[in-house]
């Protein structure tokens, strides 16, 4: 695989603090496959989950490829998006030996409609297959597809109908069991 360079636009305008989801892409330095090993990709997933919790944002979808990453995320509540992404990139880079690890910038597309959300999520989930890394989506471990397919929780919490249902179930169980001392749990009422 040859290396190639993609020039980032110099007059890039970012629209943040809009309440939109953001489709984010960033690459390893000169598109080198620094995320080519399972350990490196798993490290990225762990860092993404840590930053999701620290900066309080939702991850709707993601894929970790050998030389780049795609994210579909909400805006953080504890910082601007750029700060959370900087922290994410730094948290991976300090644990790896490659220097520099990341390209300096990132691509940001505001996802402002449901149609665009589905389009970007499909793009993310098709990426490993399109690149020929796997024959079937369930053969790639480092993306959000498995969550949408099975509902299983992985390293990164994905915001989806599965997660919302689990959150609702937990809230109702807590409500029922705390309603009064000795009250039946939700399972006992079914």
User: What is the predicted pLDDT for the residue at 177?
Assistant: 47
Nearest to 67 by CA among 42, 110, 30, 116: 30
The pLDDT value given to residue 188: 39
Give the pLDDT confidence score for residue 91 in this predicted structure.
98
Eight-class DSSP state of 14: -
> Going edge to edge, which strands form the sheet with 21-27?
59-64, 68-73, 21-27, 107-111
Question: What is the pLDDT, as a whole number, of residue 189?
Answer: 32
Contact 128, 140 (CB under 8 A): yes
The pLDDT assigned to 9 comes to 57
pLDDT at residue 172, rounded to an integer: 80
Residues of the chain with pLDDT under 70: 1-12, 14-15, 175-190
Using one digit for the tens of pLDDT, what is the confidence trace for 116-133? 999 999 999 999 999 999
Residue 186 CA to residue 170 CA, distance in Å, equals 10
- Which CATH architecture does the domain made up of 21-159 adopt? 2-Layer Sandwich (3.30)
* Gyration radius of the chain's alpha carbons: 19
The Cα–Cα gap between 62 and 25 comes to: 10
């Amino acid at each position: 695989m040859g290396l190639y360079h993609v020039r980032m636009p110099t007059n890039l305008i970012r629209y943040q603090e809009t309440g939109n989801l953001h489709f984010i892409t960033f690459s390893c330095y000169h598109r080198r496959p620094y995320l080519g090993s399972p350990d490196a990709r798993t490290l990225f997933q762990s860092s993404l989950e840590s930053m999701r919790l620290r900066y309080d944002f939702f991850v709707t979808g993601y894929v970790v490829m050998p030389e780049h990453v795609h994210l579909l995320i909400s805006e953080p509540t504890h910082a601007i998006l750029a700060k959370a992404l900087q922290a994410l990139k730094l948290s991976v880079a300090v644990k790896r030996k490659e220097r520099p690890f990341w390209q300096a910038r990132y691509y940001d597309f505001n996802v402002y409609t449901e149609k665009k959300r589905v389009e970007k999520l499909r793009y993310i989930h098709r990426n490993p297959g399109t690149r020929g890394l796997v024959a079937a989506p369930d053969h790639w471990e480092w993306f959000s597809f498995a969550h949408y397919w099975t509902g299983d929780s992985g390293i990164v919490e994905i915001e989806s109908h599965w997660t919302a249902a689990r959150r609702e179930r937990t809230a109702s169980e807590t409500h029922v069991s705390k309603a009064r001392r000795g009250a039946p749990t939700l399972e006992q009422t079914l």
